Amino acid sequence: MNTQLRRGAAALVLILACAFLAQAQSAFHLRPNDTVVFYGDSITDQRLYTTFIETFVVTRYPSMPVRFVHSGWGGDRVSGGGGGPVDERLRRDVLAYKPTVMTIMLGMNDGRYRPFDQEIFREYSTGYEHILDFVKAGAPDLRLTLIQPSPFDDVTRPETVAGGYNTVLVRYGEFVKELARKRGALVADQNTPLVEALRRARATDAKLAERIVPDRVHPGPGGHLLMAAAVLKAWGATPLVTRVEIDAASGKLTQAVNSTVTGIERGAGLRWNQTDAALPMPVNMNDPVVALAVKSSDFVQTLNQQTLRVTSLTGASYTLKINGATVGTFSGTQLAAGINLGELPTPMAKQAAGVHALTLKRSDVHNARWRQFQVPFQNETLPRLQSILSNLDALDEELAARQRAAAQPLQCYYELIP
């Protein structure tokens, strides 16, 4: 009878975890089998905030297949640029992929790095509206996310124009916000949170803060992580990876959200098996610039919560091991309050980092196909070109399948040792 009860309880926990996951996915902007195209200038062309978003979605929603296409081109304005006029860019680099979701982030080059000019702004506003009209004509059901331009760094270094160039981008961003309201699109603010983080980072370490946006235009990984967060929040991404609570005195599970816990054993410490329904977002806190950016923001609190809480412990401190690897040592008070595994070097974080490595490889393959073969030879008749493009598409799909497989959570063995 006790065995049946335990099995019933485990089944109930699994049902609740699945229900939570379904609810989280239904609240999220992306849907199964969506194709997302990221469109923009060189900041999108860096493929940093875009690949961070991709990895977050793959690891946080591992049962939801989504295709991602990175279509940023350095130097672009609303009129187009090095990749061709805007209509050509939109036909070839957006609509050709039959997207269901599109993000647009333009403005840094459009303001031309000078004080606000009404005629230049008019070109930006009319050009931006043309982009929306064009893509909606080609894909009427396309769900748009308009991104307010990321900042020019006037925080860590002196202004280059009177009042600061970022004030121009803020004005452009207000237009984007209002346009999104009129068009029924989502809007994501990549400017305000990054500026706020730069201010906090400057107060902590002024010289290191300069490296968050090293050339004042193109953020490094730390800045891009916060920009990715802005889009994910606009999409309604869940902050929760998992939440598990165990009462050590009774050896009973008191809560498991997005996770299944089995085989709890009491002894000198506590042992159990845990299979989560998601992975934490991998963040390289060994990079001092990334660490400064993250600590100067709310990224962890709002997007990377993997809580473990163990109550009724009697010892002063405990070593937590997962799959035999030491994760850290914590007091009983800390464990009773709850620790965030999302900030720690866990096997789950290592697994998620492996997923991100595949994200980058997949992105590189697509970029090579697009920028080294498709566009340079698009006006030439080369019999073997289509075969090359098809093979690279197949490799892209193979890497995407490996990426999704690598994101499937695995059972882990937990030990709390006094």
Q: How many structural domains are present in the chain?
A: 1
- Of 134 and 267, the structure prediction assigns the larger pLDDT to 134
% of the chain at pLDDT higher than 90: 93
Mean pLDDT of 255-283: 97
pLDDT at 7 over 50: no
pLDDT band at 25 (very low <50, low <70, confident <90, very high): low
Token output for 383: 């019999």
Instruction: Judge whether 112 lies within some domain.
Output: yes
pLDDT band at 6 (very low <50, low <70, confident <90, very high): very low
**Count of positions (residues) in the chain:** 418
Strands 252-257 and 240-247: antiparallel
Domain span holding position 122: 28-238
Instruction: Judge whether 147 lies within some domain.
Output: yes
Instruction: Judge whether 17 lies within some domain.
Output: no
CATH number of the domain encompassing residue 95: 3.40.50.1110
pLDDT at 54 over 70: yes
pLDDT at 271: 98
Token output for 410: 């695995």
Instruction: Judge whether 227 lies within some domain.
Output: yes
Instruction: Judge whether 22 lies within some domain.
Output: no
Instruction: Judge whether 23 lies within some domain.
Output: no
- Residue 204 CB contacts under 8 Å (≥ 6 apart), including other chains: 292, 295, 296
Token output for 157: 């270094």
Instruction: Judge whether 284 lies within some domain.
Output: no
Instruction: Judge whether 403 lies within some domain.
Output: no
Q: Where are the beta strands (DSSP E) in 128-194?
A: 143-148, 186-189
